Structure formats: C-alpha cells, structure tokens
C-alpha cells in the first residue's frame, strides 16, 4: 500500500449515514433551487457536526431533576468554528444548532481562477486557539490549496487540534491537505472522482457559494 493510501485510510472520514446520503443527492441535483439548497445545507451540516464532535471531552456535573439529584455532563473542550468565506458560511447555522457554545472565526481565501492558487483577503479569529478544538468549514475540498493555506494560518496563530469538514472532496485535494498537514482529520460526505481542467470537482455539485447565495 502506498504511503498516501495509508494516510487517507487514517485521516479521511467519509460519513455514510443514510440521511447524509439522501441530502447530498439533493445538493448535487442541478434542479434543486437556491431556497431548497440552503435548507438542505442547514440540515446536513448538523448531521456532519454530530460526527465531527463525537470525541469531544466532557466533564461530570451535578444536576437536579424534578425528582432528585443526579449526574450530568457538560462539554469541557472549547470549540472554534472557522468557515472559509464565503461558502463555509453555509455550514455555520447547522453546526451552531448542534453546539451553540462554539465560538466562530472567519478566514477569507479565494482561488485564483487562472493559477488555481489561494489568495487570502480577510482573517478574524477568536483568542486561545491553542486550547480549542478548531474545525475548518469548507463545503468543497477541491485542489486543497485554500484549505492547506487556511490550516497553515490557524497553526501560525497557535491552533494545535484542527480538523476539517466538507460536503465533497476530490482525491487531489485530500492528498494536498494530508501531505501538508498529515495529522488533520478530514470529514466529508463523499470522495468524488477527480478535478476537471478548471479545478472543479467531478461529479461535484457545482459552486457551493454560488448556489447558497444565488450568485450563479
């Protein structure tokens, strides 16, 4: 087995829940309207969040039910969500519904259509990244350039525990991120076939940002 294949097996988590499969099919369909697309993004992102945060640390607390005292649990680990602007914003509402105590940062990176290289233009992050579980949100993991650049920036600012969540990923993007950041787990709903010459994922679902915000 090649080194890359071993890395992928270890760090790429493909979410195969039936409800995720159903919603991804709706998102792929070109007949899905913008309103429907946004609603399904909200729903599927909540399902993704459950899997991403399955291993969060908790602490025991004392609570009182209407009948007696008992033990309960609270999330002990800080969580920071960092959507890559602008498509990553589509994930925020669903993630926050699941983990409302999370703090939110933003990274603005776009892909140059000619060079396919990432260009950053905006960054705003919460403090204490080093103590938090940081989840980078980007629906499309295509070339991996923007994701790798965003992860590098998060590390530069002190983040140590980083993962990434996406809807679909291309093998090229997974490889690029895992070579640059071999300890970062990637959660995705599907590993698609490949990129086309323009850097779009095939079969993909088009430009997620355009479909979310109606700018096609």
Q: For the stretch 79-105, what's the b/e string if a residue is b when 16 or more beta carbons lie within 10 angstroms of its beta carbon? A: bbbbbbbbbbbbbbebbbeebeebbbb
Query: How big is the chain, counted in residues?
Result: 216
Over its length of 216 residues, how does the chain's per-residue pLDDT go in tens digits?
454 454 455 799 999 999 999 999 999 999 999 999 999 999 999 999 999 999 999 999 999 999 999 999 999 999 999 999 889 999 999 999 999 999 999 998 776 767 767 677 888 999 999 999 999 999 999 999 889 999 999 999 999 999 999 999 999 999 999 999 999 999 999 999 999 998 899 999 998 888 988 887
Q: What is the CA radius of gyration of the chain?
A: 18
Give pLDDT, residue 4.
47
Q: Report the Cα–Cα distance between both ends of the chain, in Å, rounded.
A: 41
Give pLDDT, residue 214.
83
CATH code of the domain containing 161:
3.40.50.2020
Domain range for residue 202? 3-213
Domain count within the chain: 1
Question: How many CA atoms within 13 Å lie on the side-chain side of 139?
Answer: 30
Q: How far apart are CA 119 and CA 113, in angstroms?
A: 11
The residues, ordered by sequence, that sit 6+ positions from 114 with a Cβ below 8 Å of its Cβ are: none
List the one residue out of 153, 160, 164, 163 whose CA is nearest residue 125: 153
The residues annotated as belonging to the active site are 111, 115, 207, 210
Stated pTM of the model: 0.89
Contact (Cβ atoms closer than 8 angstroms) between residue 118 and residue 111:
yes
Q: How far apart are CA 71 and CA 52, in angstroms?
A: 25
The encoded tokens of residue 86 equal 């602008």
Q: How far apart are CA 33 and CA 39, in angstroms?
A: 10
């Amino acid at each position: 087995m090649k080194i890359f294949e071993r890395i992928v097996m270890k760090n790429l988590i493909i979410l195969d829940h039936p409800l995720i499969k159903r919603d991804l099919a709706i998102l792929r369909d070109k007949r899905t309207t913008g309103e429907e697309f946004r609603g399904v993004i909200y729903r599927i992102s909540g399902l993704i969040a459950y899997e991403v945060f399955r291993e969060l640390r908790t602490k025991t607390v004392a609570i009182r039910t209407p009948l007696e005292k008992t033990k309960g649990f609270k999330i002990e680990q800080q969580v920071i969500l960092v959507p890559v602007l602008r498509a990553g914003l589509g994930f925020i509402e669903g993630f926050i519904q699941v983990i409302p105590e999370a703090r939110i940062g933003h990274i603005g990176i776009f892909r140059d259509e000619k060079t396919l290289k990432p260009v950053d233009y905006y960054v705003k992050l919460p403090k204490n990244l080093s103590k938090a579980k940081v989840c980078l949100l980007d629906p499309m993991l295509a070339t991996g350039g923007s994701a790798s650049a965003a992860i590098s920036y998060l590390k530069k600012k002190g983040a140590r525990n980083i993962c990434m969540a996406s809807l679909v990923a291309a093998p090229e993007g997974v490889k690029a991120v895992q070579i640059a950041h071999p300890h970062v787990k990637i959660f995705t709903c599907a590993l698609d076939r490949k990129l086309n010459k323009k850097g779009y994922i095939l079969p993909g679902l088009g430009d997620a940002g355009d479909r979310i915000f109606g700018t096609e």
